[in-house]
Amino acid sequence: MNSYYQTGLKNLMDKAIINKTMELQNVDPNLEQAITKYEKIDEIPFDFNRRRMSVVVKGKSDQIVIITKGAVEEVISICKDVEINNEVLEFDEELLYKVYQQVKDLNSQGMRVIAVARKKFTENITEFEVKEESDMTLIGFLAFLDPPKQSSAKAIEALMDHGVEVKVLTGDNKEVTENMCKSLNIKSDKIFTGEDIEGLSDKELEEVVRKNNIFAKLSPANKVKIVEILKKNDNIVGFMGDGINDAASLEAADVGISVSNAVDIAKESADVILLEKDLLVLEDGVIQGRKIYANMLKYIKITASSNFGNVFSILFAAIFLPFLPIHPMHLLMLNMIYDISCISFPWDNVDESFIKEPRRWDSETIPGFMMKFGPISSIFDIVTYLALYFIICPMLTNGVLFHNLTDPAMQELYIAAFHTGCFIESMLSQTLVIHMLRTSKVPFKESWPSKELLTLNLLGIFFVLLIPDTSIGRIFEFEPLPLLYFGILIIIILLYLVLISYVKRSYLKTHDEIL
């Protein structure tokens, strides 16, 4: 009757009780009449302070009865006697011990226990308040198993292996919580209850939350306070819950996680809703999130440092050269080809060592990375400018340097060859340095890029090398270069990659990761 007549959210227990009663009401002589034949008089809703709820019904004999169910301690606290084998006995110490011992035995088996009590009224009362929940008779317990999912232990172990600390915040009592945590191998110096932490100062609670992983018999406010303490101590907090009492904590956490069969308010409060019943999807989420973060950071840092170096190179060339080192249209094309070759970054492989530890977005490392690696490319850009100006381009103008040329056609040829050489060198240096800076390890020996990244990078290089000899190259005023240029280019690129490797080792002495 309590489950059937309550107007609040019916949980799985309520639904199971109602369904079974409906199934048995025609065959079980103990069910004198269908529960639907009673008249509901009133209801005292559940709240997290009382931890119980009551309904008031009137039977066929006009007998008014209040029926209460809820947490064991809270229900027993309003009972004066107990019904055993149809005999009502007044509570004494021995009987109270026996009742609690039975609850303890059930809890030790991992069962959650709900107490049920009732009180009959002789007078005709029409309005009921919380004070009517008194002098009641304990009539029994509902004991049920709510075992963790089979994947829970593996999921928790996997999260811990990836640096995610797991804490249990539950409204269940200590015994049930302890039994469940043992089965999941979650350890804690001590199990704290909501009553324990309510008497602590914020500083004391910070220490308790830092050292302990299991908290039982918590109210929604207790859960929120613990989440906020964890966030205050510079933790990124994910909270997983599916009940009404989890809604506030889901809102308070950095990432709220719920499941598809959770109550509506929990799903509305969550940032992520799991559609699979396998909790190992949490590990997948953590790993994929870290991979996305790593690959995003690779692109930002490597591209920013390359562009930073290019700015230095162009500024230097603008001071000493009588023409632009690269045409603006060529620069736009170069960036387009480079960015297309970087489209595959999201699919790049990420070192296991990077995935093992939690990562936090830190934009402050980007300027330092740029200052460390950007100017290195400028050194070799300048070497390329010198080689083009004094060696390669004069090969096309009969050995005459640009400042001695008087023929406009020869000047245009000189500039076109210079632009072509800068275009090819910029693309090769920008693309190949990706593979030096995408990992803290030795590239192609200890850490391989994904086939998607490698393929697009090689296609980008091939296209840039090929384009000066095509009709597209003529449209963009590129000029085919002698073989000597490519010999010099190989030496320049190799020296550039060697110096980058040396600077990377130096960088890793003061930083845990290249990223």
Q: What is the pLDDT of residues 208-260, one digit of tens each?
A: 999 999 999 999 999 999 999 999 998 999 999 988 889 999 999 999 999 98
Instruction: Report the pLDDT averaged over residues 420-447.
Output: 94
Which tens digit of pLDDT belongs to each residue from 250-263?
999 999 999 988 88
Residue 14 corresponds to which tokens in the numbers above? 């309520």
Helix, strand, coil percentages in the chain from 3-state DSSP, rounded to 5? 55, 15, 30
What percent of the chain has a predicted confidence (pLDDT) above 90? 65
Tokens standing for residue 289? 């999130």
| Cα separation, 96 vs 76, whole angstroms | 9
Residue 86 pLDDT grade (very low, low, confident, very high; cuts 50, 70, 90):
confident
168 close to 213: Cβ distance less than 8 angstroms: yes
Say which DSSP state 127 is in: -
pLDDT at 37 over 80: no
120-124, 207-211, 456-460: least confidently modelled range: 120-124
Average pLDDT, the chain: 90
Tell me how far apart the alpha carbons of residues 247 and 245 are, in angstroms, rounded to a whole number.
Answer: 6
Query: What pLDDT score does 32 carry?
Result: 58
At 30 the pLDDT is 67
Give the pLDDT band (50/70/90) at residue 417. Answer: very high
Provide long-range contacts, Cβ within 8 A and 24+ apart, for 275-282: 277/149, 277/151, 278/149, 278/151, 279/149, 279/151, 279/152, 279/154, 279/155, 280/151, 280/154, 280/155, 280/158, 282/155, 282/158, 282/159, 282/240, 282/257
pLDDT band at 48; cut points 50, 70, 90:
confident
Evaluate if residue 448 carries a pLDDT over 70. yes
For 122-133, what is each residue's pLDDT tens digit? 777 777 889 889
